[in-house]
């Protein structure tokens, strides 16, 4: 039985996979485990009735499990791991929160209009912490093999690279060699190539938030 997933469609292009990093995380998990799946692209500004009936909160991603639609990428990834334990992607518990503050720090810096508010430094501090971890334990968070932590971080780092490059002409500093290599490693995986949103859709997705 294949898995059914609802993911965000691109803004202004409802037939193309959109820019939701949480949807991509779920798709990456399915790809890495070689699980066949069917994808329903949801136009988030005009959600279909069947989708709202199945999932009243209307959030993506959701996955169909035992004839029920289940939301929340953390929960979904847990269900996939339970039903398809091979190859195992669960990291040791002490590693599960590595890099978890990068995304909120990125969003804050991206939206910031005040260069002296410390948001850039806060993001750099989080990236430095990741760099140190990778230097000691890399190339992935849990060493040689990719795990669920990497699959959660990969789409977020992609958004960071694309959105900060576009809106702030900002890139991850050269000094953070391990982070930069890690991003290259993640973005070049076949699973990532297959599930990533086009850069212009990532930019279009952040546009209203940046100009708010």
In the chain, where are the structural domains located?
3-83, 93-210
List pLDDT tens digits, range 34-83: 999 999 999 999 999 999 999 999 999 999 988 889 999 999 999 999 99
Helix (H) or strand (E) holding 6: strand 3-10
- The pLDDT assigned to 66 comes to 84
Instruction: Compute the distance between CA of residue 23 and CA of residue 27 in angstroms, rounded to an integer.
Output: 6
Those residues with Cβ within 8 angstroms of residue 195's Cβ, 6 or more apart along the chain or in another chain: 17, 24, 27, 28, 31
Give the integer Cα–Cα distance in Å for 22 and 155.
8
Element of type H or E holding 81: helix 73-83
* CATH class of the region 93-210: mainly alpha
pLDDT at res. 1:
54
Q: Which two tokens stand for residue 106?
A: 């990125």
pLDDT given for residue 2 in this prediction: 73
Label the pairing between strands 37-42 and 3-10.
parallel
Spot the catalytic one: 20, 62, 153, 163.
20
Rounded CA-CA distance 209/134 in Å is: 31
Give dist(CA 202, CA 191) in Å, integer. Answer: 18
Active site residue 6: no
| pLDDT for residue 28 | 98
Enumerate residue ranges in the chain where pLDDT < 50. none
Domain at 3-83, CATH class: alpha beta
Q: What are phi and psi of 12, to 5 degrees?
A: 80, 0
- Strand, helix or coil for residue 62: strand
Q: CA 86, CA 148: separation in Å to the nearest integer?
A: 13
Domains 3-83 and 93-210 share a fold: no
């Amino acid at each position: 039985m294949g898995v059914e997933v609802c993911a965000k469609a691109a803004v202004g292009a409802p037939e193309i996979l959109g820019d939701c990093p949480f949807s991509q995380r779920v798709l990456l998990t399915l790809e890495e485990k070689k699980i066949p799946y069917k994808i329903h692209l949801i136009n988030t500004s005009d959600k279909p009735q069947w989708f709202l009936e199945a999932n009243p909160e209307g959030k993506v991603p959701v996955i169909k499990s035992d004839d029920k639609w289940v939301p929340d990428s953390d929960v979904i990834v847990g269900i996939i791991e339970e039903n398809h334990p091979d190859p195992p992607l669960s990291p040791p518990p002490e590693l599960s929160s590595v890099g978890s503050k990068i995304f909120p720090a990125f969003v804050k810096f991206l939206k910031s209009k005040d260069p002296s508010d410390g948001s850039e430094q806060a993001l750099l501090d989080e990236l430095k912490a990741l760099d140190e971890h990778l230097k000691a334990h890399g190339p992935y968070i849990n060493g040689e093999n990719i795990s669920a932590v990497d699959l959660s971080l990969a789409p977020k780092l992609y958004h960071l690279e694309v959105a900060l490059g576009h809106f702030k002409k900002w890139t991850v500093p050269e000094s953070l060699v391990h982070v930069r290599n890690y991003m290259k490693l993640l973005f070049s995986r076949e699973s990532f190539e297959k599930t990533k949103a086009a850069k212009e859709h990532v930019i279009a997705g952040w546009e209203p938030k940046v100009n708010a």
